[in-house]
Structure 1
Amino acid sequence: MKSDLKLYRSLPRRNSTARSAVTIGNFDGVHLGHQAILHRVNEVARQQGLSSCVMTFTPHPRAFFAQRGQRPELIPTQISGLRDKVEALHHCGIEQVYLARFNQAMADMSAATFIEEILVQGLNTGWLLVGEDFRYGHKRAGDIEMLRAAGKRHGFSVETLHDVADADSRRISSSEVRTALAVGQLDRARALLGKPFHLSGHVIHGQKLGRDIGYPTLNVRVPEHCAARSGVYVVRVHGLTGQALPGIASLGVRPTVVDQGRLLLEVHLLDQRLDAYGKLARIEFLEFVRDEEKFPDLITMIAAIDNDAQRARDYFASNGL
C-alpha cells in the first residue's frame, strides 16, 4: 500500500529531514521512460533506507525563458496538468515531490548554490539519479563532474541514466508524446505513456447550449498549452460514478458558438444524464474522430454531432468499455 505523498513548494521540507533518493526533471506525461527512472529511484530508496523524491519545476524552464524573451511560440505544450503529473508520480511509488518555482531567482542561481541549498540542505540527498546530459545552475554551468565532486564532500552518490528506448529502439521522450498528440496519433501516445492519454479536471458550468440541442455536456478546463490536437474524440470518463462511462468529447475553443474563448474540453456522455458539477473527472482519449470545425449554423453543427455520437457508439460496440 502506497503511503501518502508529501508535496513541497519550498525548502527545507517542513515535516521531513529524511535522507532522499532524488531525481530531477520535468516529468511531463510520466511516460514509460520516466517510469523506468522512477522504478530505479524506488529500488535504491528501498535498498538504502532513503525517501524516494522527485524534484520538478513549475513552470517548465523552457516556458519561463520563452515568456521572458517574449517568444510565446517557444513555450512547450503540456501533456499533463500539475494535478495529473503529481498523481502519476505518486502512482509510481514516489513518496516526496519538491515542486520548485522556476523564476528569475532559480534561473540566476549558481551551480554551487543549487547543490548546497537544494540537494544538500533542502533535500538531504543520499543518492541522485540524473540524465547523462543534465545541466543546472546559472547558464547551465553545472555538470555531472561537479555533482560527483560535491557528492564526495557531502556524502551522496550520483548515478546517470541512459535514454530509455521503445521496442523500435527510438528514444521515449515527452517530445515524442507531444508529437503524437499533436497529430492525433493516440495509439502511438498510448504506447509511449503505457496507458491512454488523459486529462482531468473539475466539471464547471458552461453555457448550457448542449442541453438545448439534445447533447448536454460536462465542461472541464484543460492546461492552457495542452499538447492534444483540438478536435473531437471518443472518450471514457472516470470519477463520476462507480464505473467508467462512454462519451464523445470536443477539445477546442468552440468556434461556432464563441469567437474567442479559452481551451475547453466538452464531454457528452452517451445515454447518461447526471449532475456532475464540481466533481473531479478523468477523461481518457481513445480515438481521434475529426478536427474542430466552424459550422455555418446550428443545424449543420447538430448533424455533425449526431455523426460523432454514432462514431462513439460504433467504437464501444466493437471495443467494449
Structure 2
Amino acid sequence: MSAEFSNTQFLNVDQNAPIAREMRGGVVVIGNFDGVHAGHRVVLQQAQKQAREGQPVYALCFEPHPRTVFRPDHPVFRLSPPREKAKLLQASGMDGVVNWEFTRAFASNTAAQFVDNVLLGHLGAAHVVVGYDFHFGKDRQGSPDFLINAGKASGFDVTIVPEVQLEGGLEVSSSAIRAELENANIEQANTLLGYRWFVMAKVIHGEKRGRELGFPTANMHMHPGCRLAQGIYAVTARRADGSLYKGVASYGRRPQFDNGNPLLETFIFDLDAQLYDEELTITFHKFLRTEAKFDSIDALIVQMQVDCEQAAEHLKDLAPQSGFDKQLNF
C-alpha cells in the first residue's frame, strides 16, 4: 500500500461506478484471487513493489467467477465470496478492488478490446501485474506476451510473476485448496492459504433444536456452491464488535432430524447472547468427525459433549499460524 493511501478507506467499487480520480494511473493487479492464498499474495506483493510513492495499488477481479458463468449448473465453490475477498485484499495491503461483471458478452471481447476498454479506458492503468498463467479475451487469446507487447505500444508497464511454490515444493492453487476442504483436510487447506479459512454471514433463525438439547447454536447459510466437507469442526467465532470466542460447529444436513439443506450451526463457548441478524465470522481450525445419525437423542447429546471437549482441547493453545493469520483471525 502506497504512503498516500495508507490512511484512506479501502475502495471497493464495481464497473458501473466511475473509477475514483485518485485511482487512475495506478498499479492494477489482475486475477480472480479466490481465497487470496499464499501464492496470490506473492503476486499482490509484487504489485506493491512496483508502485511509486503515492501511486495506488488495487486489484481487478471478476464477478461472478468465470467458470460459474460458463457452467452455471456447477457453480464454483468460492473460497472467498466478494465480501471476504475484499477483506483479504485489504489485509494484504491493497488500496482497493474493482469488481468487473463477468458475462458471456464480456468474454466475447478480444484481448485488444480488454486492453483498450478496461485497462486504458476505464482504469487508466499505468502498470499491470499478472501471474505467469494469466490469459484473457475471447478464446484466451491474450497471453502474458500479448500483454507485454500491448503495454509497450500503449505506454503502460507490465510485470509477470512466475509460479509460486511453498516450502517443501508445495504448489498452491485455489483448486487444490477447494479439494482439501471438500475432503475435510482443513489443516492442509489452511497451510496452502497461509491463514485459517473463514466464512462471514448473518445469524438466522433456526428450529431451536440446539437450545432444547442444551447447545444453542448460531445458524448461518453458507455461500451457494459451498462444498465444504460436512461434519463437525473446532472453530472460533468473531462477533461484530471484534470479540473472539471458541466453539464447535456442525456443517451439514442434520441427519438426526430432517436431512435438510446444508446449514452451518455453531455452538459458541462461554457466550449467552442474542445473535440473530448479527454478522459472525467463523474460522475453521480442525475437522473432528463426520455427521451421523444416532440411536437416540441421549446418544447424540453425549456425542455433542465429546465434540465440545475435543474442540476445546484442540483450541486451548491456539496461536496464529502466520502473521497474516494473526491479522485476520486473532
**Matched residues in 1 for 2:316 and 2:96: separation?**
42
Equivalent position of 2:158 in the other structure: 158
In the alignment, structure 2 segments of 5+ residues that lack a partner are 1-5, 320-329
Native 8 Å contact 2:236 2:284 kept in 1: yes
Please tell me whether residue 76 in structure 1 is matched to residue 76 in structure 2: yes
Using a 3 Å threshold, how does the CA distance of structure 1 residues 242 and 147 change in structure 2: closer, same or farther?
Answer: closer
Equivalent position of 1:31 in the other structure: 37
Give the deviation of 1:248 after TM superposition. 0.5
Name the SS for the 1:120 alignment partner: helix
**Matched residues in 2 for 1:193 and 1:242: separation?**
22
Native 8 Å contact 1:127 1:156 kept in 2: yes
In the alignment, structure 1 segments of 5+ residues that lack a partner are none
Using a 3 Å threshold, how does the CA distance of structure 1 residues 149 and 319 change in structure 2: closer, same or farther?
Answer: closer
Using a 3 Å threshold, how does the CA distance of structure 1 residues 111 and 309 change in structure 2: closer, same or farther?
Answer: same
**Matched residues in 1 for 2:188 and 2:66: separation?**
26
Native 8 Å contact 2:36 2:193 kept in 1: yes
Please tell me whether residue 278 in structure 1 is matched to residue 277 in structure 2: yes
**Matched residues in 2 for 1:295 and 1:224: separation?**
28
Give the deviation of 1:242 after TM superposition. 5.1
**Matched residues in 2 for 1:226 and 1:18: separation?**
35
Equivalent position of 2:303 in the other structure: 304
Root mean square deviation, CA, Å = 2.1
**Matched residues in 2 for 1:285 and 1:234: separation?**
6
Mapping of 1:1-321 within 5 angstroms?
A: 1-11=6-16, 13-16=18-21, 18-45=24-51, 47=52, 49-67=54-72, 70=73, 72=74, 75-239=75-239, 243-261=243-261, 263-317=262-316, 319=318
**Matched residues in 1 for 2:217 and 2:256: separation?**
16
Native 8 Å contact 1:2 1:93 kept in 2: no
Equivalent position of 2:323 in the other structure: none
**Matched residues in 2 for 1:14 and 1:319: separation?**
42
Native 8 Å contact 2:46 2:161 kept in 1: no
For residues 54-92 of structure 1, give each alpha carbon's deviation from its aligned partner in whole angstroms, at most 9, with x where no partner exists. Answer: 11111111111112xx5x2xx432212221111100111
Name the SS for the 2:35 alignment partner: coil
Number of aligned residue pairs: give it.
314
**Matched residues in 1 for 2:156 and 2:16: separation?**
18
TM normalised by structure 2 equals: 0.88
Give the deviation of 1:254 after TM superposition. 2.3
Give the deviation of 1:207 after TM superposition. 1.4
Using a 3 Å threshold, how does the CA distance of structure 1 residues 94 and 318 change in structure 2: closer, same or farther?
Answer: closer
